[in-house]
Amino acid sequence: MKKRTFLLLVVVMLATVGLGTLVVEHQGYVLISWKNIRFEATLWVFLLCLVILFVVLYVIRLILSALLSSAGWVNPWSSTNKQKRLQSAIDKGMLHYAQGNWQDALQQLTYAGKVSPQPAPYLLAAARSAQHLNQAETADKLLLQAQAKEPKQSPAIALCQADIYTARGELSKAQDSLLISYKKYAQHPELLLRISQLAQQQQDWGQLLKIIPALRKTKRVEAQQLDVLEQQAWQGRISQPADTFEQVNNIWNAMPKALHKNPTLLMAFCSQHIIFKQVEQAEQLLRHQLNQQFDVQLLQAYAQIPHAQPSLAVQSAERWLEQAPEDPIALYALGKLCLQAELWGKARDYLQASLQKRPQPKVYAELARLLNQMGDHKRSIQLLTASINMQDRRASTKSD
C-alpha cells in the first residue's frame, strides 16, 4: 500500500471517529411545528432527512429531463422536429433546384424561407424556381417577402430581381432595381458589373459612362477592356440623334481630351458635322488630326467628305500617303479623292494599285464605273463580274 493511500485512510478513519463521537455526545434537537403538524428529531436525523430529500429531488429531476427529451422526438411540434423539418426542406429544395425540378424546389424552398431564421437565400431560390415555371406573380411575392424579412440582403435580392426581369425581357425594370440597391451599396462589385452590362444592352451610354469610374476601382474588369467600353460609350453618345449641333458639341467637350484623338470617335464627331451640314468644320478637324498623326481610317473618312477644293484635298492626301504607300485602304481613299477632283487617270491608277494589294468588291465596282465612264466598257464589265463573284464567294463562305 502506498504511503499516500495509507495517510488518506487514516484521515478518513479519524474523521469518522470524530463524527461518531460528535453524534453520540451532541445529538441536538430540532422541532418544526406548523398548525397541527409537528416534527421532532435529533439534529443528525434532521440532516440525514435533508440529504435524502435532496437525493430524491435530484433523481426526480433526472427522470423528468429524460422524459421531456424523449418526448421531443415524438412530438411533431417540438423544436427538435421543427429543425429537422427545416433541414430536410433545405436539402430537398436545393437538390431539386440543382436538378431543375422547379415545382418541387418551389414548394420546399418556400417552406424553408418561412421557417428559417435566415430566409433570404431560400426565398430567392424559390423566386427563381417560380420564374422558371412562368409564375411571375409568385416570384414577385417571394422577392417582396425576402426584402421584408432581410432588408440587409438588398444587393442579393436586387441581383435576383434583375435576373428575373431580364428573363422576362423587362430590361428597364431590371436596371431600375439594380440602381435602387446601388444607391445604398455603391461599392458592391457585382451590382456595378450588372448595371454596366444592362446599360450596354439598352445602349444607355450615359449610365454606362457614370458607372465606369466606380467599375475601375473594383478591378473586376481589366483596364484595357474598360478602355474599350468607355470608347464604345462615348461613340454611342456622340452618335445618338440630336436636335441641335450644340448638344453634340457639348458631349464632345465633356469627353476626356485624350479621346479627342481617337480615330473612331473623331469620325463619329465628323459624321455629326456632316449631318448638321457643317462639312468644312469636319474637313478641318480631319485635316488637323491627319497632319498631327496619320491614320488610315481618318484618311478614308476624309476621302468621303465632299470637298470645296478637291484638288487641294488630293495634294494633302498624297503627302499623308507617303507614310503608308502600300496600304490598300489608303490607296482606295486617294482614288476616291481623285474622282472628286475629276483626275480620272490618277483615280484609275490609285484604284488599280489598291486592287493589286488587296482585291475588294467595292474597289472593283468603283474602278468599273470609272472605266465605263472613260470608255473602256470591256474592262469595266470584267471588273463588275469579278466584284459580283467575290461577293458571292464571301456570302457562301459565311453561310457554310
270-312 confidence digits (pLDDT tens) = 999 999 999 999 999 999 999 999 999 999 999 989 998 999 9
Backbone angles phi, psi at 34, to 5 degrees: -145, 115
Whether 22 shows a pLDDT value over 70: the answer reads no
Whether 4 shows a pLDDT value over 80: the answer reads no
- CA–CA separation, 193 vs 218, rounded Å? 9
Residue 21, in any domain of the structure: yes
> Would you place residue 31 in the very low, low, confident or very high pLDDT band (cuts 50, 70, 90)?
low
Average pLDDT over the chain reads 87
- CA–CA separation, 382 vs 364, rounded Å? 9
Instruction: Say what the pLDDT of residue 343 is.
Output: 94
Q: Are 371 and 344 in contact (CB under 8 A)?
A: no
Residue 177, in any domain of the structure: no
Whether 28 shows a pLDDT value over 90: the answer reads no
Residue 324, in any domain of the structure: no
Instruction: Say what the pLDDT of residue 168 is.
Output: 93
Whether 90 shows a pLDDT value over 70: the answer reads yes
Instruction: Say what the pLDDT of residue 73 is.
Output: 44
- Tell me how crowded residue 72 is: count the other CB atoms within 10 A of its CB: 12
Residue 42, in any domain of the structure: yes
Pairing state between β 30-34 and 37-41 = antiparallel
Residue 20, in any domain of the structure: yes
- Give the chain's count of helices (H) and strands (E): 20, 2
Residue 22, in any domain of the structure: yes
Q: Are 126 and 134 in contact (CB under 8 A)?
A: no
Whether 77 shows a pLDDT value over 50: the answer reads no
Instruction: Say what the pLDDT of residue 237 is.
Output: 94
Residue 113, in any domain of the structure: no
> Residue 203: which residues within 8 A CB-CB, separation 6 or more?
236
315-372 pLDDT, tens digit each: 999 999 999 999 999 999 999 999 999 999 999 999 999 999 998 989 888 989 998 8
Whether 110 shows a pLDDT value over 60: the answer reads yes
Domain count, the chain: 1
Closest CA to 269 of 309, 242, 293, 291: 242
Q: Which of 36-45, 144-153, 325-334 has the lowest mean pLDDT?
A: 36-45
3-state secondary structure 184-245: HCCCCHHHHHHHHHHHHHHCCHHHHHHHHHHHHHHCCCCHHHHHHHHHHHHHHHHHCCCCCH
Residue 388, in any domain of the structure: no
Q: Are 150 and 167 in contact (CB under 8 A)?
A: no
Q: 50 lies in which domain range?
A: 10-66
Q: Which residue has the higher pLDDT, 31 or 63?
A: 63
Instruction: Say what the pLDDT of residue 81 is.
Output: 72
Instruction: Say what the pLDDT of residue 69 is.
Output: 56
Q: Is 364 exposed, middle or buried (0-12, 13-18, 19+ CB in 10 A)?
A: buried
Q: Is the pTM here over 0.75, yes or no?
A: no
Distance (Å) of CA 298 to CA 30, 265, 283, 391: 117, 10, 10, 26
Tell me the average pLDDT across 27-31: 64
Whether 76 shows a pLDDT value over 90: the answer reads no
> Would you place residue 43 in the very low, low, confident or very high pLDDT band (cuts 50, 70, 90)?
low
Q: Which residue has the higher pLDDT, 284 or 79?
A: 284
